Amino acid sequence: MIIGSGRPRMRKTIIALAVTALAATGAVTVVFKSTNAMAAALVEDEGADCPVPGSVSLTSNSRLPDPFRRVDGTRISTKADWRCRRAEIRELSERYVYGDKPAKPASVTGTVSSSSITVNVSHNGRSSSFSASVQLPSGTGPFPAVVVYGGFGADTATIRAAGAAVISYDPFTVGREGTPRNNKQGAFYSIYGNTSSTGLLMAWAWGVSRIIDVIEQSGGNILRADATGVTGCSRYGKGAFVAGVFDQRIGLTMPIESGSGGAPIFRGIPGESGSQPLSSAYGEQPWLGDAFSAFTGNPNTLPVDTHSAVAMVAPRGLFIMENPHIDWLAARSGSNAALAGAEVYKALGAGDNITYWSDVADGTHCASRPEWRTPLQQTIQKFLLKTGNAAGTMRISSRKPGNLAEWRDWQTPVLGDGPPTTPPTTPPTTPPTTPPTTPPTTPPTSPPTGSGCTASVSLNQWTGGFVATVRVTAGSASITGWTVSMTLPSGASVTNAWNVNRSGNSGAVQFTNVSYNGSVAAGQSTEFGFQGSGTGTGMTPTCVPR
């Protein structure tokens, strides 16, 4: 099936000159050149001058689409390439999932005080207004701020104790729930029409962006314009996730228990027992864009998935919190979104900027959990106050563990530090002037020259535990089975494993293939993973064919 784009491209034209000017100074791409990546972007959409994909073929693919592969079929090969690849993902996500997010309206004005923010918007002869309340922390400003959807997100006491202000945002003033799709209400729809195909999640995100506009215009005496976070839980978690994805000025995105329509991959939800079906998430409220109705029964034809949305946040701060005790919330699909999106973070040299945490004891929906308190403080300090450097972590519950190997047929490239291989003005159907240095089917590490197999391990370590991902690569000849041996450090123990059988849980442990991943073609790879307690540092895997 081929569907063309009927959405206006005025957004790209309006701010292309501003982004081009920033590009000339290096401001557009500097964030991708730094492994620190502490600062948010200077503009809402850095890729506004990049080509807009035209019609795309919607072919069925049960695996997660390759986030590194452009619409024209080539793969990106430098970190600078990500800017326009991200713009492609943004366009496709708007077109098929969320609906269009218009650029900044012709006029945005308002006020910022120690207790409130007002926003007044005018565009094409229409106007609307809304407001949000403000609670400042102790101390002397200006302060960073976290926009809290509906007063229902990360613990506001912890946010303020960490030194950030709380902006309490009622998204219903911008896009009201309980309305039919052909008669949407709220400040967004007063400007763009009540029959707009844009869903509530994107309308709410537009409202957050207009709040940031007003903070930028206020002079920064009370709130800092360069240090904004966003959080929400449940439906507000969906909204917070989308806000952080689609505004690159947001330095820290913290969705909580967002469920279907939020962070969990669309492709995983139909197979995850007890999770809210896509048709239910689409029909419960007009959260998603109208166009998503074509995919509720078959998400495999989507050209993007939520792992791509996770990737769009990179390299900015992202802290995804999930609850594995409630099946409806699809935490297994959420962990797969985080694991796949984290591959883009790693490729950009910003792997420390993403945290995923579902390892919680309490199953109460949207509770203030003690497990999240310390990482919440650390991420606010790192990304908003710029005073910390805590590394991100993956704390995946054994109740709902993701398995990235089941969901991808692509490998993560090693991205260079050079300039873009395709200039932003090149139409998407034109091949790049410099072909990608890493073919799509080539593993990022060189395969062994002899027969047999090799194994390598990558680690996500936190205090008291870790997740290990092991890659098995065949040599010059194919193999039909394999065994990986590894000695765990003293005190370490395997608590859960996937895509593999194992012998033993501590000390010298052997891992053998399962039925579907024993056969590996020459030079190709497969992966398995396991979660452990203690430390995994220093493990050296060896592989022998069987």
DSSP 32-82: HH-SS--SPPSSS-TTTTSPPP--EE----SSPP-TTB-TTSPBP-BGGGH
Residue 38's pLDDT is 53
**Which is more confidently placed, 32 or 230?**
230
Sequence-distant (6+) residues with CB within 8 A of 289 are 94, 96, 97, 98, 99, 100, 197, 198, 199, 202
pLDDT computed for residue 450 by the predictor: 67
Peptide bond into 144 cis (omega under 30): no
Q: Let me know if 325 is a catalytic residue.
A: no
Q: Residue 516 pLDDT > 80, yes or no? A: no
- pLDDT at position 55, please? 86
Contact 212, 249 (CB under 8 A): yes
So what CATH class is 447-545?
A: mainly beta
Per-residue pLDDT tens over the stretch 470-514: 888 999 999 999 999 999 999 999 987 767 899 999 999 999 998
Winning range, highest mean pLDDT, from 280-284, 462-466, 468-472: 280-284
Q: Write the CA distances from 191 to 175, 184, 207, 208, integer angstroms.
A: 11, 11, 12, 15
Report the mean per-residue pLDDT for the chain.
87
Distance in angstroms (rounded) separating the CA atoms of residues 128 and 125: 11
CB atoms within 10 A of CB 39: 17
Query: Comparing 15-24, 298-307, 358-367, 465-474, which segment has the lowest mean pLDDT?
Result: 15-24
Least-confidence region, from 19-33, 342-356, 370-384: 19-33
Q: Give percent above pLDDT 70 in the chain.
A: 86
- Separation of alpha carbons 372 and 155, rounded Å: 9
Which tens digits make up the pLDDT trace of 425-437?
A: 444 333 333 333 3
Q: How far apart are CA 252 and CA 3, in angstroms?
A: 34
Contact indicator for 340, 304 with CB cutoff of 8 Å? no
Q: Could you tell me which residue, 15 or 369, shows the higher pLDDT?
A: 369
Please pick, among 122, 365, 368, 493, the residue that the annotation labels catalytic: 365
- State the pLDDT at residue 514: 82
Confidence of residue 39 (pLDDT cuts 50, 70, 90): low
| Average of per-residue pLDDT across 164-180 | 97
Spatial CA neighbour of 338 closest among 361, 360, 314? 314
**Cβ(42)–Cβ(249) below 8 Å:** yes
pLDDT at 448: 45
Q: Does the pLDDT at position 439 exceed 80?
A: no
Length of the chain: 546
Q: State both tokens at 462.
A: 């936190």
- Any idea which of 274-283, 352-361, 508-517 has the lowest mean pLDDT? 508-517
The end-to-end CA distance of the chain, in Å, is 43
pLDDT reported for residue 305 = 98
Question: Which pLDDT belongs to residue 497?
Answer: 75
> What does the DSSP 8-state code read for residue 299?
G
The two tokens of residue 526 are: 């497969």
Q: Which of 168, 234, 260, 358 is catalytic?
A: 234
pLDDT at residue number 461 = 66
Measure the CA dihedral 311/314/317/320, to 10°. Answer: 10
**Bridge partners for 2 per DSSP:** 57
Cβ atoms within 10 Å, residue 414: 12
What is the C-alpha separation between 262 and 253, in angstroms, rounded? 13
What pLDDT score does 175 carry? 98
- Per the annotation, the verdict on 307 as an active-site residue is no
Where are the domains positioned within the chain? 1-442, 447-545
Q: Indicate the range of 21-25, 143-147, 255-259, 504-508 predicted with least confidence.
A: 21-25
At residue 31, the pLDDT reads 31
* Structure token digits, residue 90: 């943004």
Burial class (CB within 10 angstroms; exposed 0-12, middle 13-18, buried 19+) of 518: middle
CATH code linked to domain 1-442: 3.40.50.1820
Does residue 289 carry a pLDDT above 80?
yes
Whether 30 shows a pLDDT value over 50: the answer reads no
Q: What is the arithmetic mean of pLDDT over 52-76?
A: 94
Decide if pLDDT at 160 tops 60.
Answer: yes
- Res 154: pLDDT: 85
Tell me the pLDDT band of 13, cut-offs 50, 70 and 90.
very low
